[in-house]
Structure 1
């Protein structure tokens, strides 16, 4: 049993997929607010196996998990309370603060344009992804597709950038959302809501930023990943069969992710495992 739980494929693919699928099937009848927790549950299962939810001492990965937990509560509040007009501004401020807290230790070793580039570009990347993806909260298929593609691109790029833990965490999100996409494929939409989008997108964005700052992920990979929410605005015919619409939407979202993975591979080489 210990050998199974220590298998990276089990930790980052099978476990989050199964947990997310079970929770989605259980919570789906209770409404979209709660159904969005399915992918969060799948990711949490992997995070527990990999880290035991230990928070101290506060390393970068533990900061990201702590911020993800806070983001779950924030997303749930946005779903339950009538704060929609204030949501973009609130999420922007929260995302900027989270990004600055993550990269703050690096500021001591930088000055000049490098310091300002990190202080501006890093928070801008996180804030853009969180705010733009959260706008898809009422569109179940686009929400799942954007998180899946972002997770896949971040996870495999982080793995190539010599950050195995970051890669496993992001890949676990992709697997968890993959379970939801399976239900979309079977013509059973499972709405996302802010309770899924805010924490999972925030974690992905912070993992990507952390992989650039603390490892070897090329910064331009993040530029490609930032295009994913824009592609979810591409209009598609609602007359398509549900299974075809699901496949096309996911493939469109995965184009920038695939390019990011390829360019990271060209820069960093094969993964260190």
Structure 2
């Protein structure tokens, strides 16, 4: 059994997918804000299988994990507070930017002030754009699902090509978690139904966006992901906002939203492939 759970396809694919299915089914009748727990629970299991339960040494990856698990919980609390949606999103984005600086701090300390400011500012802008894009997508769960699934896969493929197998595994685990949640929602609502636009809630949106944004940003520093690939990755979820018929079946809108993200995702992966070279396994 231990050998079975030690296999990467199980750690970052099967296990988080099954956990997502179970949690999504259990939370089906709960308010939409609780759907974020599905992604968080699946990611937590993947982290336990891939990295282990210890938080020491406090590497960049463990910092990303801590932020990825804690910020959705903060978003869950904000969901019940009487604040405007934009204010809630702004608070989470600000926290995510601080988390990014925490992840990058050892690298920033070793750079000249000007270089450090440029690097931190550019990567903070990437995180900002990704989180704002997913916040906009939250009004339509079909768009959100398709865009999130393809963005997670693109981030995972790019991270692996950039010599960061660990970041790639975590991104694929998020893709599996999204797929499990989407499967339950589509099955319960009916694959041909158009009215399945109940939002995942702020916690669900940020449970996807925060870890993927941090993984992409960190891969450009701790691995070989070219900085020029980040604008293309950030463009990926934005393309899912392109208007199309809202009365189409839910499954079709999920597919179309995913297809809309493909040009930018493919371009980012291609740039990473061009820049890739022999290197370390990327387990930081």
Residues 88-167 of structure 1: pairs in structure 2 closer than 5 A:
88-111=89-112, 113-167=114-168
Give the C-alpha shift of residue 171 in structure 1.
Answer: 0.7
Q: Hey, what's the Cα distance between the residues in 2 that align with 1:192 and 1:137?
A: 7
Please say if residues 240 and 258 of structure 2, whose CA atoms lie closer than 8 Å, have aligned partners that are also in contact: no
Mapped pair 1:193 → 2:201: yes
Alpha-carbon distance in structure 2 between the residues aligned to 1:271 and 1:151: 23
Distance in 1 (CA, whole Å) between partners of 2:54 and 2:262 is 33
Q: Which runs of 5+ in 1 are unaligned?
A: none
Deviation at 1:112, TM superposition (A): 5.7
Distance 2:111 2:279 in 1: 28
Superposition pairs of residues 47-86 of structure 1, within 5 angstroms: 47-83=47-83, 84-86=85-87
Residues 37-48 of structure 1 correspond to what in structure 2 (within 5 A)?
Answer: 37-48=37-48
For residues 31 and 235 of structure 2, what CA distance do their matches in structure 1 show? 30
Deviations 1:11-41 (A, max 9, x none): 1111111111111111111221222321222
Unaligned runs of 5+ in 2: 191-195
After superposition, give the CA deviation of every residue in 1:33-73 in whole Å (9 maximum; x if it has no partner). Answer: 22232122212111111122321221000000111122121
2:193 is aligned to: none
When normalised by structure 2's length, the TM-score is 0.88
Provide the aligned length of Structure 1 versus Structure 2.
273
Query: 1:247: which partner in 2?
Result: 255
Aligned to 1:210: 218
> Larger deviation: 263-272 or 240-249?
263-272
- In structure 2, the partner of 1:35 is 35
CA distance in structure 1 between the aligned counterparts of 2:112 and 2:231, rounded to whole angstroms: 23
Computed over aligned residues only, the root mean square deviation of the Cα atoms, in angstroms, reads: 2.1
More displaced, 228-237 or 11-20?
A: 228-237
Answer whether contact 1:152 1:257 (CA < 8 A) is retained. Answer: no
- For 1:76 and 1:91, the matched residues in 2 are separated by 10
Q: Is the Cα contact below 8 Å between 1:17 and 1:176 reproduced in 2?
A: yes
Counterpart-to-counterpart distance in 1, 2:186 and 2:279: 31
SS in 2 for 1:75: helix
Q: Secondary structure at the match of 1:36?
A: helix
CA distance in structure 1 between the partners assigned to 2:242 and 2:215 by the alignment: 26
